[in-house]
Amino acid sequence: MVSMNDIRDMDEEQMEATLKECYQQLFRLKVKAQTDRLDQPSELSRNRKLVARIKTVQSERRNAAAKAEPQVETQAEAEA
């Protein structure tokens, strides 16, 4: 299981690769759940939660970048 700290330590490229891998695994698990019986049904929820964690960190980073951007412009305007 990947913890939030591990996800936060990843760069964007690693996060995208992990997210893509999770979506593929989730798809395979959903298909297998419909056609056959899963060995560990909890894998579905674990993968969904991992996707949510990664998306949360990505959102946090976007929000932090958006907040930092206007401050830079404000400082430039104050100097002018």
| CB-neighbour burial class of residue 76 (10 A; exposed 0-12, middle 13-18, buried 19+) | exposed
Q: Return the percentage of the chain with pLDDT > 70, whole number.
A: 85
Residue 9 above 70 pLDDT?
Answer: yes
pLDDT-based confidence at residue 67 (cuts at 50, 70, 90): confident
Percent of the chain scored above 90 by pLDDT? Answer: 74
Q: Which CATH architecture describes the domain 4-79?
A: Orthogonal Bundle (1.10)
**In the chain, where the domains are located:** 4-79
Mean pLDDT of 57-76: 80
1 within 8 A of 42, measured Cβ to Cβ? no
pLDDT confidence of residue 69: 75
Buried residues in 1-28 as b, exposed as e (16+ CB within 10 A): eeeeeebeeeeeeebeebbeebeebbee
> What pLDDT does residue 2 have?
83
pLDDT at position 77, please? 63
